[in-house]
Amino acid sequence: MGMRTKTNDTTTTRGREAEAAAAIYLERCGQRVVERNFRVRGGEIDLICRDGKTLVFVEVRQRSRSDFGGAASITASKRRRIVLAAQHYLLANRPATAASIAC
């Protein structure tokens, strides 16, 4: 029998709620959410939005304290995984995005 990773349902629920709140906020700011939880082997992007002709790759970070976290909490390893996922997204959506979107 293999080891299983214990899932924390509360953390998962909070993460989903934070992503939903971020999507609502970004839509109110004029962006259009085109993809949620885009996953590839080795990486994930929480939200992919379109702001005019620009694609915006969004990592949602929820913190209980405002003095801890934010963009500084995204490690170099996590940034590499986000870039990897973004590259996969752009390649997979190239015909639709190549001529019409800036990054």
Residue 17 domain-assigned (yes or no): no
Least confident residue range of 1-10, 35-44, 45-54, 59-68:
1-10
The CATH number of the domain holding residue 41 is 3.40.1350.10
- Tell me the pTM: 0.77
Residue 99 domain-assigned (yes or no): yes
- Domain span including residue 102: 32-103
Domain count, the chain: 1
Residue 80 domain-assigned (yes or no): yes
Residue 58 domain-assigned (yes or no): yes
Q: What is the model's pLDDT at position 13? A: 86
Residue 3 pLDDT exceeds 50: no
Query: What does the DSSP assignment read for 2-54?
Result: ---PPP-HHHHHHHHHHHHHHHHHHHHTT-EEEEEEEEETTEEEEEEEEETTE
Least confident residue range of 27-31, 71-75, 76-80:
71-75
* Residue 48 exposed, middle or buried by CB count within 10 Å (0-12, 13-18, 19+): buried
Residue 67 domain-assigned (yes or no): yes
Residue 36 domain-assigned (yes or no): yes
